[in-house]
Amino acid sequence: MDDAVYPDPSFGSAEETEALRAAAAADPVGFWADRAAELEWFEPWDKVLDDSNPPFYKWFTGAKTNIVHNCIDRHLAGPYKNKLALIWVGENGTDYRTFSYFSLDREVNQMANVIKAMGVGKGDKVTIYLPRIPEVMFAMLACAKLGAVHSVIFAGFSADALTDRIDDSESKLVITADGSWVNGEIFPLKDIVDAGIRFSPTVENVIVVKRTGQDVHMDALRDHWYHDLTALPIANGKCATEHVDAEDPLFILYTSGSTGKPKAILHTHGGYMVGTYTTLKYTFDIRDEDRWWCTADPGWVTGHSYLVYGPLLNGATAFMFEGGPTYPYPNRWWQLIEYYGITTFYTAPTAIRSLMRFGDAWPNRHDLSSLRLLGSVGEPINPEAWQWFHRVIGKGRCPIMDTWWQTETGMFQICPTPSMPLKPGSAGKPFFGQEVEILDDAGQPVADGEEGFLVLKNPQPAMLRTLYKDDERYVNTYWSKYPGKYLAGDSARRDADGYLWVIGRTDDVIKVSGHRLGTAEVESALVSHPAVAEAAAIGLPHDVKGNAIHAYVVLRMGYEPSQQLAEEIRKHISVHLSPIAKPDWIDFTEKLPKTRSGKIMRRVLKARALGQDEGDLTTLED
């Protein structure tokens, strides 16, 4: 372990960590039962893990609970009642709101009362399309409190993307804002919702939170200002926390897969609650005096698990910042860490790399001594970025928890613990109770140091239960390549010390700045432009974003390639899918390499772009 970084012994003993790992490996189900017993349940479970119908695993069957009871209600009777649950700062740096567990409860009750009065109840779907403001947390918790199912959509997605997701989820209610602040400019959320639900067969009401204050169109029958609703008597008082089954759905979250249609990942109350509570507690060593900052947006799973649910389940103080890292200056985050005394800071490699480019002087202007732990998620962190984060931000004192997981897994699957020696660029070891295999195409384990398909062996409580309305796609996507084992879609290798090194996706998913995009989604947005006849999208390595999109476009008759047209197509993607999906490069081409059955051979495009061997071309059409 010459290449390892050894943490300070105050983070605990590595031997104890390994002993717990061994105990959990011997009895994973028992490990999870013990963790679940640390939380409160209205009725106990009959069975911890029901594996009678794989891969449809169930956890804590027979139990009644509600994640909100453990996030808020139980704290009101204990020492955390007046502790800060949330500190929020607006993009301008001066808007500032704080909520104790007591006042968070009041806000969530108010939101729950209001949405209940709109006829939302157990099992109903609610779409949340909000900026990073406290109301996004209230809305998620209010839905959960009622047993309703939230579907949060990142407030950067287009009207078309909203339509697809709202229609698929059959949401009755949409909760949005007039707008959001993006680098000092207004992004018109309400206008996008109006366009997105114009023909919606299911949406009955829209609740609009006032954030930016510009004039927006309000439909007299459908749209309601949130502040008008909370002024009504119906908003007052407590709203009962619904007793739900452990296996009742908590949320669906759309994510990209290898087809154009996004996958609706379904998570449930009981298992997800136990999983996010436990992983945050052990991996980030949550302590009472901590101020925990997860920079992710609640529109992604990281925001769900580790900005909203995980911290509250642990009675922690979460910090939420509306803005990004470089507006107005590249010291914004460091300034906030100093000012609010952030102790644990969890972010993404792409942000670290982009801030690194501005040099050490920006962070060095700030006192970052409150930090004690750092974290990384979303894509592999290259050793240079790891070292910079460790040295310049963590001053060599703060262990970095590189956590590997997915929207599907709901919680960390591979990550270090703070007591463990760390290897820059490795996500460490499987979390307690998990076992990982690295397999070749035929399902045989590869040798240490060799690359193969990353597979999870053990069911775990926070794992997706299925794809909403699509059990078949669930089975085919994750459980059919190696029956009985979960195919993650990533490639990885294990070293001789048992540390795992995740390399990247093996399917048609591209991680751009840590955001997950499907090539098919990007391609279908490309061909929706009138000039585009056919298109292919691939990801190419990029210094800051990890990967950037390179699009190949075949034009329709009558259109000529030009710089202006390329720019127009890029803008089209931004408006019709999301600014995140905007290609960095557009190449006009006469023809795309295809198989004889007409499938685009993206692998060939990628090899060509990288100047690599194009591999086996026998299936190429011509």
| For ligand PRX, the closer CB: 296 or 356 | 296
| For ligand PRX, the closer CB: 72 or 487 | 487
| For ligand PRX, the closer CB: 60 or 154 | 154
Residue 255 touching ligand PRX (CB under 6 A): yes
Cα-Cα-Cα-Cα torsion 401, 406, 411, 413, nearest 10 degrees, comes to: -60
Contact status, residue 153 vs residue 231, Cβ threshold 8 Å:
no
Q: Which of 101, 282, 405, 486 binds ligand PRX (CB under 6 A)?
A: 405
CB of 380 to ligand PRX, least distance (A): 4
CB of 427 to ligand PRX, least distance (A): 5
Q: Which helix (H) or strand (E) holds 362?
A: helix 361-364
For 389-410, letters b (16+ CB in 10 Å) and e give bbebbbeeebbbbbbbbbbbbb
Contact mark string toward ligand PRX, 210..249, x via CB under 6 A: ----------------------------------------
In 450-562, which residue ranges form alpha helices assigned H by DSSP? 471-474, 519-527
| For ligand PRX, the closer CB: 488 or 604 | 488
In 3D, which of 493, 494, 545 has the Cα closest to residue 516? 545
Radius of gyration of the chain (CA): 24
Residue 404 touching ligand PRX (CB under 6 A): yes
| For ligand PRX, the closer CB: 280 or 427 | 427
Residue 160 touching ligand PRX (CB under 6 A): no
Evaluated on CA atoms 398, 403, 254, 149, the torsion sign reads: negative
Please give the C-alpha separations between residue 351 and each of 170, 260, 289, 302, in angstroms, as whole numbers: 35, 27, 26, 15
In 222-309, which residue ranges form alpha helices assigned H by DSSP? 226-230, 269-283, 301-303
| For ligand PRX, the closer CB: 179 or 428 | 428
Contact status, residue 536 vs residue 519, Cβ threshold 8 Å:
yes
In 3D, which of 213, 220, 218 has the Cα closest to residue 193? 218
CB of 473 to ligand PRX, least distance (A): 16
Q: Which of 171, 180, 279, 406 binds ligand PRX (CB under 6 A)?
A: 406
Residue 545 touching ligand PRX (CB under 6 A): no
| For ligand PRX, the closer CB: 135 or 408 | 408
Number of residues that bind ligand PRX (CB under 6 A): 21
| For ligand PRX, the closer CB: 48 or 509 | 509
CB of 295 to ligand PRX, least distance (A): 12
Residue 402 touching ligand PRX (CB under 6 A): yes
In 3D, which of 66, 93, 451, 480 has the Cα closest to residue 246? 66
* Binders of ligand PRX in range 339-358 (CB under 6 A): none
SS (H, E, C) 9-27: HHHCCHHHHHHHHHHHHHC
| For ligand PRX, the closer CB: 100 or 407 | 407
The first and second tokens of residue 285, run together, are: 């060593």
* Cα distance between residue 117 and residue 577, in whole Å: 33
Residue 407 touching ligand PRX (CB under 6 A): yes
* Cα distance between residue 47 and residue 82, in whole Å: 36
Q: Which of 69, 150, 493, 511 binds ligand PRX (CB under 6 A)?
A: 511
**Torsional class of 232: left (φ above 0), alpha (ψ -120 to 50), beta (otherwise):** beta
| CA terminus-to-terminus distance, the chain | 50
| For ligand PRX, the closer CB: 315 or 514 | 514
The first and second tokens of residue 399, run together, are: 């262990």
3-state DSSP call for residue 616?
coil
* Cα distance between residue 560 and residue 622, in whole Å: 24
CB of 514 to ligand PRX, least distance (A): 7
Contact status, residue 216 vs residue 186, Cβ threshold 8 Å:
no
Q: Which of 427, 548, 580, 600 binds ligand PRX (CB under 6 A)?
A: 427
| For ligand PRX, the closer CB: 200 or 519 | 519
Evaluated on CA atoms 250, 256, 258, 262, the torsion sign reads: positive
The first and second tokens of residue 252, run together, are: 């669906």
* Binders of ligand PRX in range 293-322 (CB under 6 A): 301-302
* Binders of ligand PRX in range 367-386 (CB under 6 A): 377-380
The first and second tokens of residue 261, run together, are: 């249609």
Residue 291 touching ligand PRX (CB under 6 A): no
Span near ligand PRX by CB under 6 A; candidates 49-57, 167-175, 203-211, 397-405: 397-405
| For ligand PRX, the closer CB: 406 or 460 | 406
The residues near 503 (Cβ < 8 Å, ≥ 6 apart) are: 380, 451, 490, 491, 492, 493
Span near ligand PRX by CB under 6 A; candidates 19-27, 188-196, 402-410, 537-545: 402-410
| For ligand PRX, the closer CB: 33 or 381 | 381
* Binders of ligand PRX in range 480-509 (CB under 6 A): 488-490, 502, 505
Degrees to nearest 5, angle at CA 426 with 422 and 430:
90
Span near ligand PRX by CB under 6 A; candidates 22-30, 89-97, 401-409, 436-444: 401-409
CB of 541 to ligand PRX, least distance (A): 14
Span near ligand PRX by CB under 6 A; candidates 13-21, 74-82, 400-408, 553-561: 400-408
CB of 267 to ligand PRX, least distance (A): 12
Amino acid at 112: A
Chain residue whose CB lies nearest ligand PRX: 407
| For ligand PRX, the closer CB: 147 or 298 | 298
- How many CB atoms are located within 10 Å of the residue 378 CB? 23
Residues that bind ligand PRX (CB under 6 A): 255, 301-302, 377-380, 402-407, 427, 488-490, 502, 505, 511, 516
